[in-house]
Amino acid sequence: MNKNNFYKNAWAYDIAFNDREYDTECNFIEWCFDNYNRVKYHPKQKLFLEVASGPARHAREFAKRNWKSVALDLSEEMLHYAEDEAKKENLNLEFIQADMSNFNLRKPVHLTVNLMESIAHLTTNEQMISHFQSVARNLVSGGIYIIEATHPMFFFPDDETNTWSYKAKGKKVEVTFGLPTDKYNSVTQEWNVTSRIKINENGKNYVWESVSPVRWYLAQEMKALIELSGAFDKYWMFGSLYYTPPSPLDDTEDSDAMVIVLRKK
């Protein structure tokens, strides 16, 4: 099935990632903003953007923290789901359907994030540079952009299927992201990754599957692309969203991701 059908079950996707510590992640994000931003004035209302937002968990959390939040995603189904969830929580967010490689906001923000390895859906250098320039175009001077990318140690997946499951609201959701048989193109550096959601509801199973290209970036090529974009004056690389002060990006067990903090010129 195509990618749009896969994301029609936005609620199932949300359940599948229910074990993430969103409060802790948002604490890390705010710590980075407080310590690294060089915004030239103290904003009366801080503006937050979640790129490739999915269910907009982080945008919703920042709205609770009195930021004006914007959620941007390519999937119409995801945005409808996120908007419904925000209404249940009496939160006022702005929702924008757009491609993260090239977008424009009505007003620049102070803080932008792109989490849960969503950056991997940008598969060419040109897309990544355009993305960096788009983010910078929609950030105030001195604003912060934070990316959670795949740790380089996971560039080549192991020989086991990457599957996990979670239960909520009487439903079980099992997600598979990547099979040992997925193909890698060494020229384009793209993996054709199999994504599958299996839903068990009232004793019945439903399965949605797609195959889509992703690119997992190494640290040195990411540094080069950041510099080629010309959009940021400084960047830092860390190994997790769960430590403040942040832990360095390294090959130890404390590093479970490649977290990049960038500051706009």
- Pairwise CA distance, residues 139 & 93, whole Å: 18
Report the chain's terminal Cα–Cα distance, integer Å: 42
The SS3 call for residue 209 is: strand
Instruction: State how far the Cα of 257 lies from the Cα of 116, in Å rounded to an integer.
Output: 9
User: Model-level pTM greater than 0.85?
Assistant: yes
CB-side neighbour CA atoms (13 Å) of 23: 0
**Angstrom distance (rounded) from CA 51 to CA 98:** 9
The DSSP element (H or E) to which 51 belongs, if any, is strand 47-51
- Which residues touch 43 (CB under 8 Å, ≥6 apart)? 110
Tens-binned pLDDT, residue by residue, of the chain (265 aa): 334 455 668 999 899 899 899 999 999 999 999 999 999 887 889 999 999 999 999 999 999 999 999 999 999 999 999 999 999 999 999 999 999 999 999 999 999 999 999 999 999 999 999 999 999 999 999 999 999 999 999 998 888 899 999 988 788 999 999 999 999 999 999 999 999 999 998 888 989 899 999 999 999 999 999 999 999 999 999 999 999 999 999 999 899 999 999 999 9
- Judged by DSSP in three states, 175 sits in strand
Please give the radius of gyration of the chain, using alpha carbons only, rounded to the nearest integer: 18
Instruction: Check if the beta carbon of residue 53 is closer than 8 Å to that of residue 71.
Output: yes
